[in-house]
Amino acid sequence: MRLAQPHDQNIIPAPPLQLPPVGSISTRRPPEMAPAAEPRQGTLGAPRPSPDSRQTRAVQRSWQSPQVRDVRDRVEDLRYELKVRQQPIAARACGFGERDRRVIDPPPIIQLTVSDAHTKQVDLDELRYSLNVVHCTLWSADGRHEETALVQPDKRATRRLMGQLVASPSVAKDEHDQEGCFFCFPDLSCRTHGKYRLRFVLMRIDPANLVVGGTSPILTEVLSDVFTVYTAKEFPGMRPSSALTRALKLQGCNIQVKKGNEKMFPRKRPAVGTGDAPTDGDRVKRLHN
């Protein structure tokens, strides 16, 4: 009879290994669990676009009418031209406050004409394209330097030209009952006095290019005449609205009709006929005026 040794008491028998039968272990993964291609070292692996995303982009492009797509494809064959139908004349410097902001008078009105570069015929479809926009900036009187931004003594830049600097098209008839495409700027103000010009550039927004970092080309541009921004003491006052402004206002354009300063800019009165003697009422009106 063998006696148990001390070290034999600490030995615990291990359970038997449960191994599957030979040939039952498979190294192939099911198709749905196949590993994706690993990215290269130092790069991020971008997943390939799925068919669903390609279909989504196709649906986003399909909403555009064939007419709009056709105009976009032949932009190079069109000739764009901007004309300042109503020139800015004067303005009162609004300073750096927001309470007493006076607009440039009269409000600039820009007209767009589009014609075929070969036949010179007017393209009415492009005139009605709703995503043509005109952007306005402030320039020096000689037209060489942009003055839209103003650098303050603490080196902070602020806007010298205030208000709504972008205008959308409005297809309407002018004071001569002629239809055209107009861009109105009724809300422009200048902070400092001096002589300036306004620069207007035309851009065509493409719905298919509305992405982060997308750009729109400048099709044409035009400079206004030189106008004067006065101080509060030297400002002559607002002018009555022109016939073009009134005509566009009646057709729904976002522009205000102003009576103006009648003392500085009196309206023309009908001349009294040579054969008609002035009445007592006319004499009284002249004395009061």
Most confident by average pLDDT, 110-124, 143-157, 207-221: 110-124
What do you get for the CA distance between the two ends of the chain, in Å? 146
Of residues 268 and 58, more confidently modeled: 268
**What does pLDDT average to over the chain?**
77
pLDDT value of position 213 = 80
pLDDT value of position 53 = 46
Separation in Å, CA 93 to CA 132, 133, 146, 147, 181: 30, 27, 18, 14, 30
pLDDT value of position 18 = 56
pLDDT value of position 141 = 96
Write down the residue that tokens 């764009």 correspond to: 80
pLDDT value of position 120 = 87
pLDDT value of position 9 = 52
Over range 46-60, report the average pLDDT.
47
In the chain, % of residues over pLDDT 90: 43
Separation in Å, CA 144 to CA 20, 141, 198, 223, 286: 86, 8, 12, 11, 49
* Model confidence pLDDT, tens digit, residues 54-77: 444 444 444 444 444 554 556 778
What gap in Å lies between CA 285 and CA 289, rounded to an integer? 6
Q: 284 falls in which pLDDT band (50, 70, 90)?
A: very low
pLDDT value of position 168 = 95
pLDDT over threshold 70, residue 23: no
* Model confidence pLDDT, tens digit, residues 2-17: 555 555 555 555 555 5
* Model confidence pLDDT, tens digit, residues 124-138: 888 999 999 999 999
Q: Is the pTM of this model over 0.75?
A: no
Domains along the chain with CATH numbers: 68-207+214-256 (2.60.40.3960)
pLDDT over threshold 90, residue 174: yes
Over range 182-194, report the average pLDDT.
95
pLDDT over threshold 60, residue 285: no
What gap in Å lies between CA 236 and CA 229, rounded to an integer? 11
* E strand spans, the chain: 78-86, 90-92, 109-116, 132-140, 149-151, 157-159, 161-163, 166-167, 170-173, 179-184, 188-190, 194-204, 218-223, 227-230
* Model confidence pLDDT, tens digit, residues 206-259: 887 788 887 888 999 999 999 999 999 999 999 999 999 999 999 999 898 988
CA atoms within 13 A on the CB side of 211: 6
Separation in Å, CA 195 to CA 20, 92, 135, 147: 93, 12, 20, 11
Report yes or no: 94 and 102 within 8 Å, Cβ to Cβ.
yes
Best CA proximity match to 261, nearest among 7, 90, 62: 90
Over range 180-206, report the average pLDDT.
95
Q: 274 falls in which pLDDT band (50, 70, 90)?
A: very low
pLDDT over threshold 60, residue 115: yes
